[in-house]
Amino acid sequence: MGVLVSAADLLAADPTRAVLLDVRWALGDDRGRERYLEGHLPGAVFVDLETELAGPPSAAEGRHPLPSSQRLQAAARRWGISDGDTVVAYDATGGLAAARAWWLLRWGGLTDVRLLDGGLDAWRRAGGTVEAGAVVPGPGEVTLTGDGMPVLSIDEAAALPSSGVLLDARAGERYRGETEPVDLRAGHVPGAVSAPTTENLTPDGTFRSPAELRERFAALGARPGGTVGVYCGSGVTAAHEVAALSAAGIEAALWPGSWSQWSADPTRETATGPGPA
């Protein structure tokens, strides 16, 4: 099953036949629901990343730990998802937030889950209309398990550079330790490779082609059949990198705790600078 659906293809396929999830969120910006109410894809349901796509934050587990499969299932049913449904998630930031919903539903066991390539902007460019106000669907009946995607623990992430590739999806300046606006310490996991998520996208916010992504990840040491893990600040944009890797034919494990978990543990060594060549 593919990762992406284009706006043109979604329009042609009749978007009302899919469950549409609006996941507008950005770090430090709590106006996602407000923007959703101003205009969203017809029939789309708003998904709150902080409360529905994450468990309670803690120093031990990170800022956005995985919700339990039961909690995710309850949320998915509120969104109107039933077994066998096609689900399309989108946002207005190139999929950087929506990929968390994509990943979680895949982790929960759903297979027909896509990201709207280019999100709301691509939808509008393709001639799609938007509607205002809230959508409250009827309850769904989906069953989720929580074992459909590979996950790394903090110890597995620490060991991965010796046997595979651990990609750091944060901005380069955070990886290098030049700045840290959110977490307790600056820097990166020793041996991790800098792979900013934003470089998965073209200037118009759509994903680069699979061939371009394969070339990008090969240069970082990640290839089909290899052992690859991904982290970011708190497991949100890392999901976007997992999606890009999947589009390139590379399976990768997500480390949900990510840097927020690592930096809160004073026993964990921190590296700074450009990292591995």
Would residue 132 show up in a list of annotated catalytic residues for this protein?
Answer: no
What percent of the chain lies above the pLDDT cut of 90?
94
pLDDT recorded at residue 28 = 75
pLDDT of 16: 77
List, in order, residues 6 or more apart from 24 with CB less than 8 Å away: 32, 33, 35, 36, 46, 91, 92, 93, 97
Is 29 within 8 Å of 55 (Cβ atoms)?
A: no
Write down the pLDDT at residue 275: 83
- The active-site residue, picked from 49, 232, 239, 247, is 232
**What is the per-residue pLDDT for 11?**
93
Q: Does residue 14 register a pLDDT over 90?
A: no
The answer on pLDDT for 27 being more than 90 is: no
In this structure, which topology does domain 4-125 adopt according to CATH? Oxidized Rhodanese; domain 1 (3.40.250)
Computed over every residue of the chain, the mean pLDDT equals 96
CA 227 from centre of chain: 19
- Of residues 28 and 71, the one with the higher pLDDT is 71
What does residue 165 show for φ and ψ, rounded to 5 degrees?
Answer: -130, 125
Long-range contacts of 9-15 (CB under 8 A, 24+ apart): 10/88, 10/116, 10/123, 10/128, 11/126, 11/127, 11/128, 15/41, 15/42, 15/43, 15/88, 15/128
pLDDT tens digits along 155-204 = 999 999 999 999 999 999 999 999 999 999 999 999 999 999 999 999 99
Q: What order of strands is seen across the sheet that includes strand 113-116?
A: 4-5, 113-116, 87-90, 19-22, 45-46
Query: What is the tens place of the pLDDT at every residue in 245-260?
Result: 999 999 999 999 999 9
| Helical residues (DSSP H) of 13-144, grouped into ranges | 32-38, 49-52, 69-78, 98-108, 119-125
Task: Please state the domain extents for the chain.
Answer: 4-125, 154-263
pLDDT digits (tens, 9 = 90+) for 99-147: 999 999 999 999 999 999 999 999 999 999 999 999 999 999 999 998 8
Can you count the helices (H) and strands (E) in the chain? Answer: 11, 9
- Of 23-27, 61-65, 91-95, least confident by mean pLDDT is 23-27
pLDDT tens figures, 140-151 = 999 999 889 999
Strand segments (E) across 76-206 = 87-90, 113-116, 165-168, 193-194
Looking at domain 154-263, its CATH superfamily turns out to be Rhodanese-like domain (3.40.250.10)
- Residue 1 has what pLDDT? 64
- Give yes or no for a contact between 38 and 62, defined as CB atoms under 8 angstroms apart: no
Domains 4-125 and 154-263 share a fold: yes
Banded pLDDT at 277 (limits 50, 70, 90) = low
